[in-house]
Structure 1
Amino acid sequence: MYQYNEFDQQFVRQRAAQFRDQLERWQRGELTDEQLLPLRLQNGWYIQRYAPMARIAVPYGEINSKQLRMLARIAREYDRPDPELLAHAQATQDALQAAQPGQKLAAPRLKYGYGHFTTRTNVQFNWIPLAKAAEVMELLASVNMHGIQTSGNAIRNITCEADAGIADDTIVDVRPFAEIARQWSTLHPEFAFLPRKFKIAFNGAREDRAATGWYDIGVQAVRTDDGEVGFKVRVGGGMGRTPVIGTVVREFLPWHQLLNYFEAVIRVYNGYGRRDNKWKARIKILVKAEGQRFIDAVEAEYKAIVEQDGAPHTITQAELDRVQAGFAVPELKPANLPSKVDTNGLLYQRWLKQNVRNHRLPGLKAVTLSFKRVGFAPGDADADTLDALAQLAEQFSAGEARLTHEQNLLLPWVHESDLPALYETARSLGLATPNIGLLTDMIACPGGDFCSLANARSLPIAAAITERYQDLDELFDLGPIDLHMSGCINSCGHHHSGHIGILGVDKDGMEWYQITLGGTDGSDLSGPAQPGKVVGPSFRADEVPDAIEAILEVYRELRQPGELFIDTLRRVGHDPFKAAANGARHARTEHLAAA
């Protein structure tokens, strides 16, 4: 795992000190709310529906046990709302719940004292008072963490697939390149105020597990027949109001030219991207509108950077070696803890199948802990759980863990002999449900319970579906299904890429939900990335679980032996599923009318 050098450490400490000064000036009335706004956003501090939200960067998902313990401390000591604020927020939520026609779903009570894992490997806290923000930043800086690149119209937190460098289908360990890109982009003054936010994802394995087609820049490692390493580069992917799959602009880019090419792409975007309409300001709109002319402009800019400017951001072998040294395999020792687990038992065998991946190193495994639990929102970890994760990482994974795109946590260095003991401990924490890749391993944003942009709440829907599908026999029978849910069109829950997607929409001040089918993220299981299609008119909250159940019943009826949900959908088309979902709605309406 890469360790910050003295420059990195000094930088984050200075940023924390600068923000303390800015915050104190604001508290004295020397800075207005409007003047503080860009300063706090550059450090990851938002004002959400009821309270501030802090977004903490975890570049390319890697986190160590010391950092997990600090997140636990912040959750325990700082993520605590004023009682009057919490009571007001809960009363507002209860009133909203009561106003929904026919709403029968139980709304989760608002919680505090926890961190939330996001789809882009950030950690969010929803209740830290802004007056405490400087203290929190200083604590984060003490463990080499911060909120830089988690907000604003800049290059955001850079991501890659969770099992980078450890998967058995690894082509190139892309973590060093993601780290080099992080260092380059963090302080780049030209790209601090882009037309809109900008996201970069790396994938270094044969299977795309980083959803690179959905990013502003998606980078796929490739290796030629003679062993030369480079990258296929996609540009212009994105979700939101206009879902677009990125366009391949380079089939092979030599690795040492990566930053020069990034610079060319972002210069063109910075020069020609729209600034008059934020809904049309993302690079995907520019690429879609200009097509080949955009690619030609990037190539011309890249040529000028290399030939006229002297390729100033060329990655040297010495620099790559320096950064790669930070990603060397750690010292690995088995925990050798006793275990009473029946290793032939059905639950354990299912856990091995769903939650344990093969490793490129003999004798090791990569283990995913499931953060899809009854009573918790997807990706939520309270303070005690965060402390327990730190302990698990130290005992079983050389002190390292990784946040995943699916809002889970992966332990990358687990000895095969330690799997029973790890399973026993994880099960006691509620983190060993064998559902990775199955229906209840859903992605969901915080939605209207916290986010001021959301049109509807995600968490009651997620809770209802999770509770309905607790039968593991049923989950395994249904097989791999990606269910993604967003509370608004901003798509933080990546609903466009779900085999089943759920989107919260507003209709005359009421919460409604669209269901989409057939979206994919680009993995081998799902096939090339594509957005899902809406199956019909929107549904009330209480109708959504019934509609999902009806869709899955059609799959059971129409599937061929061994056929996955996404394959059945492609073979038979959307119409049978659309009819079933709408039929479930009509049946519920008639039932409520009769009652």
Structure 2
Amino acid sequence: MYKYDQYDQQIVDARVEEFRDQVKRRLAGQITEDQFKPLRLMNGLYLQLHAYMLRVAIPYGTLDSRQMRMLATIARKYDRGYGHFTTRQNIQYNWIKLSDAPDILADLATVEMHAIQTSGNCIRNISSDQYAGAAADEVADPRIWAELLRQWSTFHPEFSYLPRKFKIAVIGAEEDRAAMRLHDIGIQLVKRDGVLGGRIYVGGGMGRTPMIAPEIKDFVTADDLLSYVEACLRVYNRYGRRDNIYKARIKILIHEIGADDYRRQVEEEFAHVKSLGLDPPKAEFERITAMFAPPSFVAADTPATPFVSSEVETPASATGVSTALEANGDFQAWRAQNTAAHKQPGYAIVTISLKPTGGIPGDATAEQIDLMADLAERYSFDELRVTHAQNIVLPHVRKADLYAVWQALDAAGLAPANLDLISDIIACPGLDYCSLANARSIPVAQKIATRFADQNRQRDLGELKLKISGCINACGHHHAGHIGILGVDKKGTENYQLLLGGSGAEDTSLAKITGPGFDEDGIVDAVETVTNVYLAKRAEGERFLDTYRRVGMEPFKEALYG
């Protein structure tokens, strides 16, 4: 994984001291809240309903055990003992004191972390595939390009004050695990005639006007990729609206002028940009690439590694996967649901679910964060990933060690076998925390997860991605849910709209509203009604999304509204 060089560290340290002075002046009353607001937002500090919230950047979702332990320390020392992992592969702390914020940033800087560009009208945290560098189906590790984009975009003089916030995702496989086409720019690494390059999509997004990004360029060589992205941003920065916040995103610009005209202008701009020498010199590209070299995998028949932790005691029987252990039904269900194919024989990719029954999606206690750091250090070459679905991944785990990993997770309440099932819910913080929200998301997620707690029932339903947002800003990605829920304010009462048919994967689609909304308990019943229709209508081997696309909305509306 990428390690800071002297320039990275100097930038972050300087920003910490600058912000420390700004906070000091604010606390002394020397600047007003209106004057302070843009300064704190540039450092990821929001003022929410009850307290300040700090959003910490985790570039392309990758971090090591040292960084993970610092996240636990911050939760324990400055918050209420937990952190909230987000759909941007970041982490948020919801109960921050303003006076503590500079110290938190200083602590983060000691482990090569920061909160820069996690807010504001700039290029936000670059997201990527949580399986990057491990997935059996990728053509190249997208994190190399995500890191290049991170360095290019940090304090970019032209793009620090864009018309609106800007989000970029990079993937390296046909399977889209990062909702790439629902970003302002989505890049899919591909090979053509043996040459590596990227397929470029521009103009996606959710919010009040959800759109799927059209393809702007079918192939840009790797040598031209950075210049081409610069050209895409320049056209947007030139013509994106600054007079209307609701029409300021790049998706609106492309919708209004058309993809063809936007594409033409980007090509003209690219011809100029390419002459500026923005693409990295070979030596720099090789330096960054070396940071993402594959780990030193061991032979598949190497004996299993026992787990020893100050938090969790693992019985001696958990040091390997014997025939008897393989008969453990809970472990078998977890292994089948929460692990994925790895490019290295004898290894697996493990997803740690942060969605226990009745829990808050994406939340983890300081103790759980520490445990995940311990497991990464012992079993996953000291590497973890945050997913856009608010879970954590151990990317490189030997199959022989899976039982030990599972048992440690199970003892800590981190082993729900529910990846991509109905209880693996994406949910924003909603009205419990967010000053923009119209309705609560967390209680609805908890009630739905409890209603569908039976594991056999979840497995019978199969892949079913449910996503909840507490307002039209769509931080819970409800537009991309197979089942989506949007909380709205209806004459002072929380009301929940039900949407069906969305997908953030390679078969990208936007969910459609079924009809009138429901109250909090009614929306839980409505979800159950929808799943019952699916079970009655599905054909052999169909996912929920497949059935919906085949039979259409009408059978579901009939069951919901009569």
C-alpha distance in structure 2 between counterparts of 1:473 and 1:530, whole Å? 28
- Residues 562-586 of structure 1: per-residue CA shift (max 9 Å, x gap): 2211111111111111122235xxx
| Residue 535 (structure 2) aligns with | 556
- Give the secondary structure class of the aligned counterpart of 1:191: coil
- Give the secondary structure class of the aligned counterpart of 2:406: helix
Q: Kindly tell me the number of residue pairs found equivalent between the two proteins.
A: 543
CA-CA distance at 1:373 after TM superposition: 1.0
| Residue 552 (structure 2) aligns with | 573
- Residues 116-165 of structure 1: per-residue CA shift (max 9 Å, x gap): 00011010000011111011110011111111111000000000010012
Aligned pair 1:284/2:247, yes or no?
no
Aligned pair 1:163/2:131, yes or no?
yes
| Residue 219 (structure 2) aligns with | 252
Q: For residue 305 of structure 2, what is the amino acid of its counterpart?
A: N
| Residue 207 (structure 2) aligns with | 240
- 8 Å CA contact retained: 1:499, 1:566: yes
Which runs of 5 or more structure 2 residues have no equivalent in the other structure?
A: 307-315
- 8 Å CA contact retained: 2:358, 2:447: no
After TM superposition, the runs of 4+ consecutive aligned structure 1 residues lying more than 6 A away are: none
1:92-107 to structure 2, matched below 5 A, reads none
Aligned pair 1:263/2:230, yes or no?
yes
| Residue 366 (structure 2) aligns with | 383
- Residues 352-386 of structure 1: per-residue CA shift (max 9 Å, x gap): 11111111112211100010013421000111111
Aligned pair 1:344/2:311, yes or no?
no
C-alpha distance in structure 2 between counterparts of 1:224 and 1:262, whole Å? 19
- Give the secondary structure class of the aligned counterpart of 2:472: coil
Q: Determine which of 81, 92, 96 is the counterpart of 1:128.
A: 96
| Residue 444 (structure 2) aligns with | 461
| Residue 400 (structure 1) aligns with | 383
1:191-340 to structure 2, matched below 5 A, reads 191-225=159-193, 227-291=194-258, 292-306=260-274, 310-332=275-297, 336-337=305-306, 338-340=316-318
- Give the secondary structure class of the aligned counterpart of 2:165: coil
CA-CA distance at 1:315 after TM superposition: 2.6
- 8 Å CA contact retained: 2:349, 2:394: yes
C-alpha distance in structure 1 between counterparts of 2:161 and 2:96, whole Å? 27
C-alpha distance in structure 2 between counterparts of 1:51 and 1:537, whole Å? 34
Q: Determine which of 510, 515, 519 is the counterpart of 2:493.
A: 510
- 8 Å CA contact retained: 1:498, 1:517: yes
- 8 Å CA contact retained: 1:378, 1:443: yes
Q: For residue 231 of structure 2, what is the amino acid of its counterpart?
A: A
| Residue 42 (structure 2) aligns with | 42
Q: For residue 244 of structure 2, what is the amino acid of its counterpart?
A: N
| Residue 538 (structure 1) aligns with | 517
- Residues 442-491 of structure 1: per-residue CA shift (max 9 Å, x gap): 11010000000001000010000111111111011000001011000101
| Residue 416 (structure 1) aligns with | 399
- Residues 173-198 of structure 1: per-residue CA shift (max 9 Å, x gap): 11111001100100211100000000
Aligned pair 1:153/2:132, yes or no?
no
C-alpha distance in structure 2 between counterparts of 1:581 and 1:547, whole Å? 7
Q: For residue 190 of structure 2, what is the amino acid of its counterpart?
A: V
> Structure 2 length as normaliser, TM-score?
0.95
Q: Determine which of 489, 496, 499 is the counterpart of 2:472.
A: 489
| Residue 475 (structure 1) aligns with | 458
- 8 Å CA contact retained: 2:128, 2:178: yes
- 8 Å CA contact retained: 1:339, 1:420: no
CA-CA distance at 1:329 after TM superposition: 2.0
C-alpha distance in structure 1 between counterparts of 2:515 and 2:145, whole Å? 43
Please identify, of 373-382 and 496-505, the stretch whose mean Cα deviation from structure 2 is larger: 373-382
| Residue 419 (structure 2) aligns with | 436
Aligned pair 1:501/2:484, yes or no?
yes
- Give the secondary structure class of the aligned counterpart of 2:289: helix
- 8 Å CA contact retained: 1:42, 1:152: yes
C-alpha distance in structure 2 between counterparts of 1:339 and 1:389, whole Å? 21
Q: For residue 155 of structure 1, what is the amino acid of its counterpart?
A: I
Coordinate RMSD, CA, aligned: 1.2
Please identify, of 47-56 and 323-332, the stretch whose mean Cα deviation from structure 2 is larger: 323-332
| Residue 561 (structure 2) aligns with | 582
| Residue 154 (structure 2) aligns with | 186
- 8 Å CA contact retained: 2:133, 2:294: no
- 8 Å CA contact retained: 1:258, 1:315: no
C-alpha distance in structure 1 between counterparts of 2:358 and 2:505, whole Å? 31
- Give the secondary structure class of the aligned counterpart of 1:189: coil
CA-CA distance at 1:542 after TM superposition: 1.2
- Give the secondary structure class of the aligned counterpart of 1:127: strand
- Residues 513-543 of structure 1: per-residue CA shift (max 9 Å, x gap): 10100001123xxxx2111010010111110
CA-CA distance at 1:69 after TM superposition: 0.9
C-alpha distance in structure 2 between counterparts of 1:43 and 1:146, whole Å? 8
- 8 Å CA contact retained: 1:439, 1:483: yes
- Residues 192-230 of structure 1: per-residue CA shift (max 9 Å, x gap): 0000000000010121111111000000011013x1000
- Residues 250-288 of structure 1: per-residue CA shift (max 9 Å, x gap): 000011111211111111111100111101100000001
C-alpha distance in structure 2 between counterparts of 1:145 and 1:437, whole Å? 29
Q: For residue 557 of structure 1, what is the amino acid of its counterpart?
A: A
CA-CA distance at 1:37 after TM superposition: 0.9
C-alpha distance in structure 1 between counterparts of 2:559 and 2:445, whole Å? 20
- 8 Å CA contact retained: 1:257, 1:313: no
- 8 Å CA contact retained: 1:547, 1:580: no
1:19-168 to structure 2, matched below 5 A, reads 19-79=19-79, 112-168=80-136
C-alpha distance in structure 1 between counterparts of 2:560 and 2:414, whole Å? 32
> Structure 1 length as normaliser, TM-score?
0.90
Aligned pair 1:359/2:337, yes or no?
no
- Give the secondary structure class of the aligned counterpart of 1:490: coil
Aligned pair 1:172/2:140, yes or no?
yes
CA-CA distance at 1:28 after TM superposition: 1.5
- 8 Å CA contact retained: 1:548, 1:581: no
C-alpha distance in structure 2 between counterparts of 1:417 and 1:401, whole Å? 19
Q: For residue 11 of structure 1, what is the amino acid of its counterpart?
A: I
